[in-house]
Amino acid sequence: MFEFDQYLGFLAFLVILTMGFWLMIFLMAILPYWIGGSVTELLKEKKEARKKAKEQKA
């Protein structure tokens, strides 16, 4: 039969496993969106800087 310590260990294992699973799902959903938005903003800033530099030359 299970002792109480083994039961608590098993519950701790399940909690940690479940937290890791949901963290992985969260990161796989959020990280691409976050990185994509950052790259888009960076490209937009570079495009505007290039446009301003071109206007100053003319």
Which tokens sit at 34?
Answer: 């976050």
How far apart CA 41 and CA 38 sit, in angstroms, is 5
Confidence of residue 37 (pLDDT cuts 50, 70, 90): very high
Residue % of the chain over a pLDDT of 90: 66
Task: Kindly compute the dihedral angle of the four CA atoms of residues 16, 18, 19, 22, in this order, to the nearest 10 degrees.
Answer: 160
Over residues 8-28, the mean pLDDT reads 94
The model's pTM is 0.54
